[in-house]
Structures are given as structure tokens and as C-alpha cells.
Amino acid sequence: MATPVGRIEREYLFKVLFEEKIPVKYIKDRNEFILTLDCVAGVDELYFRPNKPITHLKLKDKLALLFNYRGQSVDFQTQIRLFKDDLIICSTPEMLYKNLDRNYLRIDTPSDLKVRFTFNGERYNLAFPKVSEFETVGVETNGGGNSKNLSGLISQMTKWLKDYADGYKIVNFKDKSPETTEEKIVSELGKALFIPSTMGHLPKVDPYPKKRIITEELFMRYLEGNGVGEKYLYDSCVRFVKNKFKDGIFSDAWIPILFHEYVIGYIHIWISEEGKLPFEFTVLDNMYQFSKVLAFALKENGYFEHGKMAKEAFEGRVLDISASGLLFAYPHGHSLSATLLIDAELMVSIETPKRIVNVMAKIVRRFKDRSANYLGCRFMDMEPEDMRYFFEYLYGRQVDDNDTAFLSGQV
């Protein structure tokens, strides 16, 4: 994943760009230009000298630039402030990004390019709490059992839990809205509230690659968003856990039941027998797996059918594109806007004058401003012949030996 560069490293990289004359790539209208940093003026201006004239540039144009330093690709975006002799004077960017999950320069969208998007798989409009990530629920989650036998699944879970928990409860948010602190934070964050021991604290670290538990920091951030003063956050967090101990709960876990971007309910398990071994992460893993199976079983029983949305193509304003992905904007307020979430997959139809390229893309970044949501997508499993054509269409040159990463799909 792309990593923002800190201030000190940023200043160092610009110093190296200037002193070592490292080439900086810029592509416009399928022509590749090499810029060298001719001068660093103070802290807010960069003077670039192009290797050949770049036509049709104007003041305030934004330039997407890329350079390679010691085998690592770094990119940034800057804005033109002034033209002076053969120099392009640009603003110093606030952010540089390294460890890119792409090796190819983003370029402005060619004028003869048309892009349409279609959601991959089924989409739903449901009256449940929503979270900002997308949870895939597919046939692989059913464990090979009878996915329509809900009572059998619950009986299986109950039998397994006897060795670990003293009680459990399954709550559906269709029947009730989130009311308690536990219900509200689980439904808002879509993560598990996991307290292995109420004689301790909330977990300080989430060990999962795709974060799934509410850490102490997340809990305090939630409290702050609900009006708790900064100086009271830690004490409120400690008191929350201690009150569970006073109520006779020694280990506690609230696991969300996730379906696409919705939290449809939760499973609550607890230990109230003093001296019993507290919950470990293996228990949480199994409960997460069961919650997935339960969501899939509900789907198979037609529970969400009333909210299924028709599959329709839509257009977004593509801001920039590369051989490995694109960034597009979609307006607030549209019904589709709230469903364009991280990890959601889209079928992308890219229409060029000579060929239509169809490719799957995953949303990997999402941010917004007052006017729109911005979605960064990574292409997946593009056909080799489409790869070669698309590369040559974007960059105006044939693929060569230096582009092996692109040909092997590692962009």
C-alpha cells in the first residue's frame, strides 16, 4: 500500500532529486517527458526543466509526477505556478507517496477514453446500520453444511460454545435499533468489542491484518465523538470495563454480523463463572466465522431479497488513470455513492477508439470532499493481450523488458 512520506524524508528526497538530477516522469497526450529539478527555491517552489517542450500546459494545471529512487517508486502531484524561460515553476507538494502498489505513472484521462462501471455481484439497499467497508459474503463461507438450516447452525454454535462461554445472545437490528454503548459502537464501526478479561483493559493492538476488533484507542475515539471530554476519555474507558466486572461478567465479546456494508446484528457471548478461562483470539476467530455463515444462511433463505438492487452501469468522472488502476469521482447524495466502499469490486468497461477493454477492479482507497467521493481502484486479472494494448494506448510506446512487472500483473 502507498505510504505517505514524512516531512524530513520529503525534504531529503527533493534534495537528492536536485543534486543527483534524478529523472522525473510526466506523461501527457501519450508522450513521455523527463523533468529534472533545476532549482529548489525556498520551501514552497520547485523549478523543473523538461527535456522537450510540453504544449498546452497552463497556469494552475496539476501535474502527476513519478520518479524512482534506489529501486523504489515515489509519486506526487504538484500545481503549475509560473512559466519562466524554459522552466516550469511548481508548488512544493505537501505529500509524497512511496511503496506504491503500482509501478506506472498516473496520467490525465485521454479525451478519447470512455469508462463505465458496473458492480460485480449483488447489491442491496437495506434498513440496517452501515459501515465504510465491504464484507464479501459468498458460498465459501458456508463450511460445506446446509446453509439454509438456520436452527441447525445455531444449534451447532450453541454446542460448540458450551466449552467456552456461559451465555450467548443473537440480536437482529431489524427487530431493534442499537441502544446500549456496546450495540452502538459495534454497529457504527463494524468491529468486535472484545474484552478477554474485565480485570484488565480493552486490547491496545489489533493483531488482524484486516482490522476487526475495537482497540482502546478506537473506543476512546468513539467516546470523544459522542461528547466525552478529552481529559475524561481514558477514565471513561477504564470505568466501562470495570463496570462489567462489577456486574459479574469476567470475559466479554460482541461480534458483528456483517452483510456487504451492513451490520445486520451481533452475537454476544460472555463468561460469568469466576475462575473460568477467559476468551482467547481462537474463540473470536470461530465466532467471526460463524457470523459469516449466519449472514450467508440468511441470504440463502431470501432474507435480504426485498432490498436487492438492479444491476445497472454507471459513469464516474475519471480523474487520472494508469496501467494498473484509476481514480474516479462520484457525487454525494446519489443512491450508489454510499455503496462505493473499500474492497467492493467493479466491472470496468474502458472504451478506446480501437478497442474495448473489460477488467475487474477493486476499490482500495476512498476519500471525500464537499463535492464528491473519490475512489481509487486497482485493476485485477486483466487479459494479457488487453494489458499490452492498454499500456501502449496510455503511454504511447510499446512494452519493453523493463515492463515485466506490468506483464506479470504486479502493478
CB 307 within 8 A of CB 330: no
The per-residue pLDDT for range 151-190, each reduced to its tens digit, is: 888 899 999 999 999 999 999 999 789 999 999 999 999 9
User: Tell me, what's the pLDDT at 411?
Assistant: 38
**261 and 131 Cβ atoms separated by less than 8 Å:** yes
Average pLDDT over residues 81-108: 81
What is the separation, in whole angstroms, between the first and last Cα of the chain? 11
pTM over 0.85: no
The conformation of residue 396, written as its DSSP 8-state character, comes to S
pLDDT band at 213 (very low <50, low <70, confident <90, very high): very high
CATH 2.30.110.10 describes domain 3-99: yes
Count of helices and strands (H, E) across the chain: 8, 19
For the chain, the domains span 3-99, 114-123+310-407, 130-306
Residue 232 CA to chain centroid, in angstroms? 31
Mean of pLDDT values over 305-323: 88
Question: Residue 228 corresponds to which cell in the numbers above?
Answer: 466525552
Q: What value does the mean pLDDT take over residues 386-399? A: 85
Q: How far apart are CA 18 and CA 11, in angstroms?
A: 11
CA–CA dist 8, 24 (Å, integer): 20
254-274 confidence digits (pLDDT tens): 999 999 999 999 999 999 999
Task: Give the residues across from 373 on adjacent strands.
Answer: 330, 368
Q: How confident is the model at residue 245 (pLDDT cuts 50, 70, 90)?
A: very high
Phi-psi category of 56—alpha, beta or left, where left has phi over 0 and alpha has psi -120 to 50?
Answer: left
pLDDT, average across residues 30-55? 86
For the domain made up of 130-306, the CATH class stated in words is alpha beta
Whole-number pLDDT of residue 204: 95
Q: d(Cα 135, Cα 145) in Å, to the nearest integer?
A: 21
Q: Which helix (H) or strand (E) holds 389?
A: helix 384-395
Q: Do domains 114-123+310-407 and 130-306 have the same CATH topology?
A: no
Give the chain's mean pLDDT.
Answer: 87
Say if residues 178 and 265 touch (Cβ distance below 8 Å).
no
Q: Which CATH class is domain 114-123+310-407?
A: mainly beta
**Inter-residue contact 166 to 174 (CB < 8 Å):** no
Listed residue (116, 119, 109) closest to 314, CA to CA = 116
Cβ count within 10 A of residue 356: 11
* pLDDT attached to residue 227: 93
**Cβ-based neighbours of 279, under 8 Å, separated by 6 or more:** 164, 165, 194, 196, 251, 252, 253, 269, 271
**Is 13 in contact with 69 (CB distance < 8 Å)?**
yes
